[in-house]
């Protein structure tokens, strides 16, 4: 057994202990708070959790290295279950056009938008693309994210998608746990023979087997964008992915009247993403399933649409919801889960407790990592963060402020905030 590490004296230790499945309803507000709490872990695994007085008196704790969390909040590391870590450089001209009122189509016609991101991924070397993604991942860890789901999709063509997935694999050796998702059916490449029908067949016959054979992704995702990809397209892609052993996900943005939710529930998808609208029937279907609705407030804020996901309706109907940044250079260039929690409270009528649970344990369920992360429990990975404040409700209160003082992944300190020199000391 390796050297033990003890975090003791937390003003609030948010364990998120609770039911095995994703949290919903009243359980979403249950954070399992221990006042003056402590966590003991060895070899990257949590061994004991409880009041400081009890844990620090255990025999193994007496020889452990200590981190004093006096007056601070300790909670599980955030699980960001929807990002495009590999997306290339910032789209600053696109941003200026957006601020001036340009539409998505106008931005693309001017040489920007999604096609420009696809070109950038194809033109950048793998080394440069990985270096850029590493910088983003480091910033995610500084912001308290210890587990992150990274999606492809911007590569579109085979070369770009495979390059993206290989970068995902390289990032797995970094400071956060990276879950790779092949988002194959996002849009049809220009001049692709056979249009959507031919593209879906190529994905199913060529790309999905290749990605699975090389173990480059755990999930397969697709974009329900009728009429580009209709229900038969979705079913063909998802059923093939399921047969090959992928976990399933669906993006349903701007499709309130689609069958995306019904298909996700029917096929047992781990999550459905970016629901900006949801019918009563969809909410009822999700409430009876283990499919997590991953909500993305970032794009609504960035694009200025003011159409935020209907979190309050979903929660009140018993749907399991997660929060994620949806980080990408085109519609949500923020990797701050703390900011997403603030937006969820202010714009989506979530309580601070609900938002924290959605950004930790439910995010872990959406990313297929709830057995290892998302809560502070014996036997799970020691993935946790320490905040510089005494109350978790300060996360949304101090919007746009990074409160993370320390990030720990598998028992190893990955980030520790430097102190500021005070000239009068």
As a whole-number percent, the residues of the chain with pLDDT over 70 amount to 97
Sequence ranges of the domains in the chain: 4-76+375-416, 78-366
Half-sphere exposure of 205 (CA within 13 A, CB side): 6
Beta bridge partners of 292: 271
The CATH code of domain 78-366 reads 3.20.20.140
Confidence band for 255, pLDDT divided at 50, 70 and 90: low
Residues 196 and 100: their CA atoms lie apart, in Å, by 33
| β partners of residue 179 | 149
Q: What pLDDT was estimated at residue 157? A: 85
Query: 272-321: per-residue pLDDT in tens?
Result: 998 888 889 999 999 999 999 999 999 999 999 889 999 999 999 999 99
Residue 212 or residue 425, greater confidence:
212
Separation between Cα atoms, residue 55 and residue 105, nearest integer Å: 59
- pLDDT: which is higher, 257 or 360: 360
Domain at 4-76+375-416: CATH architecture: Roll (2.30)
Residues in the chain: 425
Q: Are strands 404-409 and 384-387 parallel, antiparallel or unpaired?
A: antiparallel
Q: How far is CA 125 from the centre of its chain?
A: 26
The HSE-up count of residue 394 (CA atoms within 13 Å, CB side) is: 14
- State the pLDDT at residue 303: 93
User: Residue 236 has which token pair?
Assistant: 């063909």
pLDDT at 422 over 90: no
pLDDT of residue 270 exceeding 60, the answer is: yes
Residues 288 and 304: their CA atoms lie apart, in Å, by 33
Q: Prior bond to 265 cis, omega within 30?
A: no
Average pLDDT over residues 135-159: 94
Indicate if the pLDDT at residue 256 is higher than 60: no
Tens of pLDDT, residue by residue over 371-384, are: 999 999 999 999 99
Q: Which tokens hold the place of 22?
A: 């994703």
The DSSP code sequence of 37-94 is EEEEEETTEEEEEEEHHHHTTSHHHHTSEEEE-BT-EEEEPEEEEEE-S---S--HHH
Question: What's the whole-number average pLDDT of the chain?
Answer: 93
pLDDT at 171 exceeding the cut of 90: yes
- What was the pLDDT predicted at 89? 86
Burial of residue 215 (CB within 10 Å: 0-12, 13-18, 19+) is exposed
Q: Please give the pLDDT value at position 226.
A: 67
pLDDT at 192: 76
pLDDT tens-digit series, residues 338-351: 999 999 999 999 99
Please tell me what DSSP assigns to residue 367: T
CA angle 157, 178, 248 (to 5 degrees): 60
What is residue 186's predicted lDDT score, i.e. its pLDDT?
80
pLDDT of amino acid 87: 85
DSSP per-residue codes, 98-167:
HHTT--HHHHHHTT-HHHHHHHHHHHS-HHHHHHHHHHHHHHHHHTTEEEEEEE--SS-SHHHHHHHHHH
Q: Is residue 53 classed exposed, middle or buried when 0-12, 13-18 and 19+ CB atoms within 10 A define those classes?
A: exposed
258: pLDDT strictly greater than 80: no
How far is Cα 47 from Cα 25, in angstroms, rounded to an integer?
A: 30
144-158, 221-235, 257-271: least confident range: 221-235
Residue-wise pLDDT for 42-92, tens only, equals 999 999 999 999 999 999 999 999 999 999 999 999 999 999 999 888 999
């Amino acid at each position: 057994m390796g050297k033990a590490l003890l975090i003791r004296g937390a003003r609030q230790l948010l364990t998120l202990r609770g039911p095995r499945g994703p949290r919903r309803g009243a359980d979403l507000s249950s954070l399992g708070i221990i006042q003056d709490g402590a966590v003991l872990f060895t070899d990257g695994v949590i061994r004991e959790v409880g009041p400081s007085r009890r844990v620090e008196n255990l025999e193994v704790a007496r020889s452990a290295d200590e981190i004093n969390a006096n007056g601070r909040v300790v909670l599980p590391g955030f699980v960001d279950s929807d990002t495009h870590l590999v997306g290339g450089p910032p789209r600053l001209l696109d941003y200026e056009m957006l601020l001036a009122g340009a539409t998505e189509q106008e931005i693309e016609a001017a040489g920007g938008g999604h096609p420009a991101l696809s070109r950038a991924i194809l033109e950048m070397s793998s080394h440069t693309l990985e270096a850029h993604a590493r910088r983003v991942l480091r910033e995610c860890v500084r912001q308290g994210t210890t587990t992150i789901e990274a999606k492809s999709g911007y590569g579109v063509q085979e070369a770009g998608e495979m390059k993206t997935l290989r970068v995902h694999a390289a990032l797995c050796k970094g400071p956060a746990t990276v879950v790779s998702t092949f988002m194959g059916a996002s849009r049809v490449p220009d001049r692709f023979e056979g249009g959507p029908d031919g593209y879906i067949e190529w994905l199913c016959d060529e790309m999905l087997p290749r990605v699975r054979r090389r173990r480059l992704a755990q999930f397969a995702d697709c974009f329900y964008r009728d009429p580009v990809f209709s229900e038969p397209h979705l079913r063909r892609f998802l059923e093939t992915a399921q047969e090959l052993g992928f976990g399933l996900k669906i993006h349903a943005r701007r499709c309130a009247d689609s069958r995306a939710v019904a298909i996700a529930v029917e096929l047992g998808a781990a999550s459905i993403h970016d629901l900006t609208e949801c019918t009563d029937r969809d909410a009822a279907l999700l409430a009876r399933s283990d499919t997590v609705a991953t909500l993305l407030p970032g794009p609504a804020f960035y694009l200025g649409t003011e159409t935020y996901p209907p979190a309050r309706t979903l929660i009140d109907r018993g749907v399991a919801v997660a929060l994620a940044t949806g980080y990408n250079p085109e519609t949500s260039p923020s990797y701050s889960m703390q900011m997403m929690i603030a937006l969820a409270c202010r714009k989506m009528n979530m309580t601070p407790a609900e938002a924290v649970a959605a950004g930790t344990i439910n995010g872990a369920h959406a990313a297929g990592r709830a057995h290892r992360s998302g809560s502070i429990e014996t036997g799970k990975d020691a993935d946790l963060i320490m905040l510089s404040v005494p109350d978790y409700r300060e996360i949304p209160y101090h919007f746009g402020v990074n409160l993370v003082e320390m990030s720990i992944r598998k028992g190893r300190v990955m980030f520790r905030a430097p102190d500021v020199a005070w000239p009068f000391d």
